[in-house]
Amino acid sequence: MRQPCVRQAWPGYCGHASWLPAGRGRLASHMCDPAGAELIGDGMSDPTPPSNACAGHIQDPASQRLTWNKSPKSVLVIKKMRDASLLQPFKELCTHLMEENNMIVYVEKKVLEDPAIASDESFGAVKKKFCTFREDYDDISNQIDFIICLGGDGTLLYASSLFQGSVPPVMAFHLGSLGFLTPFSFENFQSQVTQVIEGNAAVVLRSRLKVRVVKELRGKTAVHNGLGENGSRAAGLDMDVGKQAMQYQVLNEVVIDRGPSSYLSNVDVYLDGHLITTVQGDGVIVSTPTGSTAYAAAAGASMIHPNVPAIMITPICPHSLSFRPIVVPAGVELKIMLSPEARNTAWVSFDGRKRQEIRHGDSISITTSCYPLPSICVRDPVSDWFESLAQCLHWNVRKKQTHFEEEEEEEEG
């Protein structure tokens, strides 16, 4: 994998590790190397804040830029499935990448099994050049230089799930329904792709959550495709203590809910080993700033810019008038377990996937991941975010108040 270099002068998501309290500074050495990237900027390698920060000066996060140490040679193209309208853009993009840029293009095997693609004779010559893989079977994490997504926000979440360690830079085209995380328009894709290949692009580092689920073994235990500590694609079994451990990287949110039960969910939430609250309601959402505009926003949470180092805790329909969503520092460790008084089990999902049941004695540990997702911007992290708020969520859309006519003002005077 060619190594991109994300140049930034502001301690943004990755750089925020420099600001973490003693005991969390260990994140700095890992978080400064997303997708094989080298992050260059003030305070990136030293656990003390940069000297200019002491003077009250923080530089613009829009200064984060992507450059390449060597020209990228391989690209993973992710296409939204079961959408016939994307077949033509997919063909045009792949043909352009192979013939104009001489790129090695990876796609998931099931994409090429689409009857519309399989039966297209004009696409046959290009189709033979693809490198294919199968989710949960083939590891391509060290073979991809950058990723292109065609579809909606789900394609970006899917791209995140494929890389449980470092993530290559992601360029996402808006060809889906919402498109909050997919800022690029496909109309001028040739020039935009060329800019990325040449390294002329802004980047926002979207923090992810590292989630570790530990379950007690109970007879026949279903094994889910989580990841071990070494990043291998397998669930870990600790037979000595009768536990099963699974690990996931999450871009949006972890959702713990009551599932099909009619009872309230009743779960205890610990922060760095201290019990902070018990959630009694439909459930709780633990989200990244990127996820703050997803399920958390629907549940009443504030929307947080992805450059802000934070983790959000948002209750789902709590049976309490005073339970408001809260924001805690990135890097803390949350632990969620069923309360001893819980009448039923709970269910957990990770970016809407890998849904599974949580019983008494099981635990979910959540902290900020060492591997953020580098998302390529159309303009810069701030402009793109506010553009998405306005265009996708219609943030603060209201008919303008009219001004007084001059005659009315004179009469009042």
Which CATH number goes with the domain that contains 164? 3.40.50.10330
Residue with tokens 């840029």: 101
Residues 350 and 298 in one domain: yes
User: Three-state SS for 314?
Assistant: strand
Strand partners, 68: 4
Asked if residue 133 and residue 104 are part of one domain, the reply reads yes
Q: How many domains does the chain have?
A: 2
30, β-bridge pairs: none
- Rounded to whole angstroms, the Cα distance separating 157 from 170 reads 11
Q: How far is residue 279's CA from residue 281's CA, in Å, rounded to a whole number?
A: 6
Helices (H) and strands (E) in the chain, counts: 11, 21
Q: What is the pLDDT of residues 318-348, one digit of tens each?
A: 999 999 999 999 999 999 999 999 999 999 9
Mean pLDDT of 21-27: 27
- For residue 191, what is the enclosing H or E element? helix 189-197
Instruction: Encode pLDDT of 222-247 as tens digits.
Output: 444 444 444 444 444 444 467 899 99
Q: Tell me what the mean pLDDT of segment 239-257 comes to.
A: 88
CA distance 145 to 105: 10
Look up residue 260 and give its two tokens.
Answer: 């099909």
Residue 29 phi, psi (nearest 5): -65, -30
CA gap 370, 1 in Å, rounded: 19
Residue type, 67: T
Spatial CA neighbour of 267 closest among 368, 341, 323: 341
Position with higher pLDDT, 36 vs 192: 192
Residue 232: inside a domain: no
Verify that 334 and 350 share a domain, yes or no: yes
**Over 80: is that where the pLDDT of 33 sits?**
no
Residue 302 lies in a domain: yes
Please give the DSSP secondary-structure letter assigned to residue 184. Answer: B
pLDDT of residue 233: 44
Please tell me whether residues 357 and 213 are part of one structural domain: yes
Cα–Cα distance measured from residue 375 to residue 171, given in angstroms and rounded to the nearest whole number: 6
In a domain, 278, yes or no: yes
Residue 103 scores a pLDDT above 70:
yes
How would DSSP label each residue in 216-259?
Answer: E--SS-PPP----TT--SS-EEETTTTEEEEEEEESSEEEEE-T
Is 227 among the domain residues? no
Structure confidence at residue 258 as a pLDDT band (50, 70, 90):
very high
Does the residue 380 lie in any domain?
A: yes
Query: 3-state DSSP call for residue 403?
Result: coil
381 within some domain: yes
With cut-offs at 50, 70 and 90, classify the pLDDT of residue 165.
very high
Q: How many angstroms from the chain centroid is the CA of residue 261?
A: 29
Q: Are residues 117 and 88 in the same domain?
A: yes
Confidence of residue 309 (pLDDT cuts 50, 70, 90): very high
Taking the model in full, what pTM does it have?
0.81
Q: Are residues 252 and 318 in the same domain?
A: yes
Binned at pLDDT 50, 70 and 90, residue 43 comes out as very low
Q: Is residue 266 domain-shared with residue 289, that is, in the same domain?
A: yes
Q: What is the average pLDDT value for the chain, to the nearest integer?
A: 83
Q: What is the CATH number of the domain that holds 271?
A: 2.60.200.30
pLDDT 10s digits, 368-410: 999 999 999 999 999 999 999 999 999 999 999 998 887 665 6
Does residue 293 sit in the same domain as residue 243? yes
Alpha-carbon distance of 389 to 378, in angstroms, equals 15
Whether residues 78 and 194 share a domain: the answer is: yes
Specify the higher pLDDT residue, 42 or 219: 219
Q: Which of 156, 354, 176, 169 is nearest to 248 (CA)?
A: 354
Residues 175 and 314 in one domain: no
pLDDT at 57: 57
Cβ 173 vs Cβ 186: under 8 Å: yes
Q: Is residue 140 situated within a structural domain?
A: yes
Contact predicate 46/20, CB 8 Å: no
293 is a domain residue: yes
Task: Of 32-36, 277-281, 303-307, give the lowest mean pLDDT range.
Answer: 32-36
The CA distance from 176 to 185, in Å, is 11
* 342/380 same-domain check: no
Give me the domain span that covers residue 163: 65-207+376-393
The strand pair at 253-257 and 274-287 is best described as antiparallel
* 386 and 351 share one domain: no
Question: How many Cα atoms occupy the beta-carbon half-sphere of 2 within 13 Å?
Answer: 22
Q: Which residue has the tokens 């980047």?
A: 203
Contacts 24+ apart (CB under 8 A), 112-121: 114/87, 116/84, 116/87, 117/87, 117/90, 117/91, 120/91
Higher pLDDT, 203 or 60: 203
